[in-house]
Amino acid sequence: MRRTDPLRLLRSALPIAILALAIAGAALLVATRPQPEAVAIEEKRYAVRTVVARRTTFRPDIRHFGRLVAAREASLTVSVAGRVMEVSPKLVRGGEVAGGELLLRLDPLFYRTRLAQLEAERARAEALLAELDIEREAAERSAAVAADRLALAERERERQRQLVARRVASPRTLEEAESAVLQRREAAIDALRRRDVLLRRIDQQRAAIDGLRAQIEWAQRELADTELRAPFDAIVASVEVAVGRELRAGEPVARLYDRSSLEIAFSLSDAEFGRLWRDGLLGREVVAELRLGEAIYELRGRVSRIDQKAERAAAGIGVFASLTGDTGGMPLRPDAFLEVRIADVAYPDVFVLPRAALYDADTVYVVDNERLVPRTVETVARAQGLVAVRSGLREGEQVLATRLAEAGPGLAVRIVP
């Protein structure tokens, strides 16, 4: 029988004993560790602001961009041809000119010479007419004398006829009397013919003088047209002329805007136009702001007309408002950019809330016992960061005004000032 070595057995059992001791120690440590206190999880509450629901009448402003336009403008052209001799220093883009002020002058030599020639022709024609009048008077006197002589010859012939009938005179004397009548009649006819010819020449001469007078009036107008003047108080929009340039009749020179006809022009959407038209658009007050750097100029006007021409590319309907306030001292220019506002229609018996209070177009939340409660509302208007709603709310309720991504039924909130 083989003997067992005690030392060998000890070496084999030692690792097992060490492992057992380690497990026992770990179990002891786990069993004797201190137990942590239980922590209660508190529900998160969101700090929010609210508004009190109050029924009111909401009348927002409709805001759009617009511009200043001139209701009256003129494209100036020259009526006669010529070389530009003088241009007003005010005839520059942006310049201001007064009605009747001289803008440019053409060389008047040709037109002045033509006028002088026509006036000389008229003077000669009038002198000839005077001569013809003298000749007419003489011809009328000659015709009168010839008529008297004819009457005398006819009386003598009648006397000779009576004498011959009584056999006191010979037939020869009667023949001589009849011959004298024929001669006097021919002379009277010639005198009348000369008078009639002179009368026709006088009529022709008077017609010629009338024609010359018309030509003189036209020449005077052409001479006056060598000076181009402003038709009204205006602002110069563009200039197409310079000294020394040869201009043709009808050639454009400049374009002017009437300073007194400036209007506020802007557009309304179809829906806005429909509401305001039913509520009374014409005569409605318009307020516009002209911003020039840090300076702000307020303009006031009233809607005076509607643009009747619909532009396919334009959005909405054009509206024009005539200026009513004092614009003295304001640097107003056509095409200036404006911020325009006009009062919308009134919405009675509505709740006015911040736009942030509206969720999904028809939902708001009220705070009840620090919890959110959804309410379905009817939106009737939106403007200037506000929304007007009807139904779904009660007077005095606290409506959530803070925008929350987590907003939902039952969400815990805390109202802060």
Residue 283 has pLDDT above 90, yes or no: yes
Residue 10: its pLDDT value, please?
Answer: 60
In the chain, DSSP finds a helix count (H) and a strand count (E) of 4, 24
Residue 330: its pLDDT value, please?
Answer: 79
**Mean pLDDT over each residue of the chain, to the nearest integer:** 87
Question: How many of the other CB atoms lie within 10 Å of CB of 168?
Answer: 10
Residue 2 has pLDDT above 80, yes or no: no
Confidence band for 4, pLDDT divided at 50, 70 and 90: low
DSSP one-letter code for 71: S
pLDDT in tens, 330-350: 788 888 999 999 999 999 999
Residue 294 has pLDDT above 80, yes or no: yes
- Return the minimum-mean-pLDDT range out of 2-6, 307-311, 386-390, 408-412: 2-6
Burial class (CB within 10 angstroms; exposed 0-12, middle 13-18, buried 19+) of 106: buried
What interhelical angle do 109-165 and 171-224 show, nearest 10? 170
Three-state SS letters, 83-138: EEEEECCCCCCCCEECCCCEEEEECCHHHHHHHHHHHHHHHHHHHHHHHHHHHHHH
Residue 314: its pLDDT value, please?
Answer: 57
Q: What angle do CA 58, 61, 67 make, to 5 degrees?
A: 170
pLDDT in tens, 138-173: 888 888 888 888 888 888 888 878 887 877 777 888
- List of residues 6+ apart from 85 with CB closer than 8 A: 105, 106, 107, 243
Look up residue 296 and give its two tokens.
Answer: 């702000």
Element (H, E) at 299: strand 295-306
Residue 1 has pLDDT above 50, yes or no: no
pLDDT in tens, 102-112: 999 999 999 99
Look up the pTM and report it.
Answer: 0.61
In angstroms, the Cα distances linking 372 to 191, 369, 412, 416 are 125, 8, 7, 15
Mean pLDDT, range 362-377, rounded to an integer:
93
Mean pLDDT, range 15-26, rounded to an integer:
70
Amino acid identity for residue 40 in this structure: A
Instruction: Report the percent of the chain where pLDDT is more than 70.
Output: 90
pLDDT in tens, 23-71: 776 666 666 666 666 555 677 889 999 999 999 999 999 999 999 998 8
How far is 238 from 251, CA to CA, in rounded Å? 14
Look up residue 129 and give its two tokens.
Answer: 């007419």
Residue 311 has pLDDT above 60, yes or no: no
44 Ramachandran zone, left/alpha/beta (phi>0; psi -120 to 50): beta
Confidence band for 356, pLDDT divided at 50, 70 and 90: very high
Residue 143: its pLDDT value, please?
Answer: 85
Residue 49: its pLDDT value, please?
Answer: 93
CB 95 within 8 A of CB 256: no
How far is 364 from 368, CA to CA, in rounded Å? 13
How far is 267 from 97, CA to CA, in rounded Å? 31
Residue 53: its pLDDT value, please?
Answer: 93
Mean pLDDT, range 303-327, rounded to an integer:
80
pLDDT in tens, 208-256: 999 999 999 999 999 999 999 999 989 898 999 999 999 999 999 999 9
pLDDT in tens, 165-191: 877 777 888 788 888 888 888 888 888
How far is 276 from 60, CA to CA, in rounded Å? 12
Mean pLDDT, range 2-26, rounded to an integer:
64
